[in-house]
């Protein structure tokens, strides 16, 4: 009965590791990556107005319509979520403020463009996710 499993070491049987000692790596699913991105964008938006200390797992989960355990499936700890949130917020700021304003003429025009783009980050209508609206 066990003869067919000779290619896997007994250590691998006990730990679930292949003969190379590495755990099998799961390929990220597209919908999992999409969910993770949705979580991070929502977390970045909330943290922008409330700060990281004001970002609760329960409130974030409710905000995106997911369970707390669903959130923890994407992030092993609140600290990991916070670090990823900071990275996402920086990407949003770079894209929506810095890159957008860099297309404006230098001087006062660019300062105004930077200010307007920055303030748009806090505009609830600007950040409204219309994909969830039903008419």
Domain ranges of the chain: 28-126
Residue (of 114, 111, 112, 78) closest to 97 by Cα position: 114
Residue 65: band (very low, low, confident or very high) from pLDDT cuts 50, 70, 90? very high
Please check whether residue 78 is in contact with residue 122, taking contact to mean a CB–CB distance below 8 angstroms.
no
Please check whether residue 43 is in contact with residue 36, taking contact to mean a CB–CB distance below 8 angstroms.
no
Between CA 95 and CA 88 the distance in angstroms is 11
Helical H segments across the chain, by residue range: 10-15, 30-50, 57-64, 68-74, 78-93, 100-102, 108-120
pLDDT in tens, 91-103: 999 998 999 889 8
According to CATH, the superfamily of the domain at 28-126 is: Tetracycline Repressor, domain 2 (1.10.357.10)
Q: What angle do CA 28, 55, 32 make, to 5 degrees?
A: 10
Token digits of residue 25: 């790596």
The answer to whether the pTM exceeds 0.75 is no
pLDDT in tens, 96-131: 899 988 988 899 999 999 999 998 887 765 554 434
């Amino acid at each position: 009965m066990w003869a067919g499993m000779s290619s896997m070491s007994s250590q691998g049987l006990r730990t679930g590791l292949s003969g190379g000692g590495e755990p099998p790596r799961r390929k990220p699913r597209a919908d999992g990556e999409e969910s993770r991105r949705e979580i991070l964008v929502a977390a970045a938006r909330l943290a922008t107005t409330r700060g990281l200390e004001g970002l609760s797992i329960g409130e974030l989960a409710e905000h995106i319509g997911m369970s707390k355990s669903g959130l923890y499936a994407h992030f092993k700890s609140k600290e990991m979520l916070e670090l990823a949130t900071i990275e996402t917020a920086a990407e949003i700021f770079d894209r929506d403020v810095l890159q957008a304003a860099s297309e404006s003429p230098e001087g006062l025009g660019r300062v105004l463009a930077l200010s307007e783009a920055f303030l748009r980050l806090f505009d609830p209508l600007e950040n409204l996710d219309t994909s969830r609206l039903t008419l």
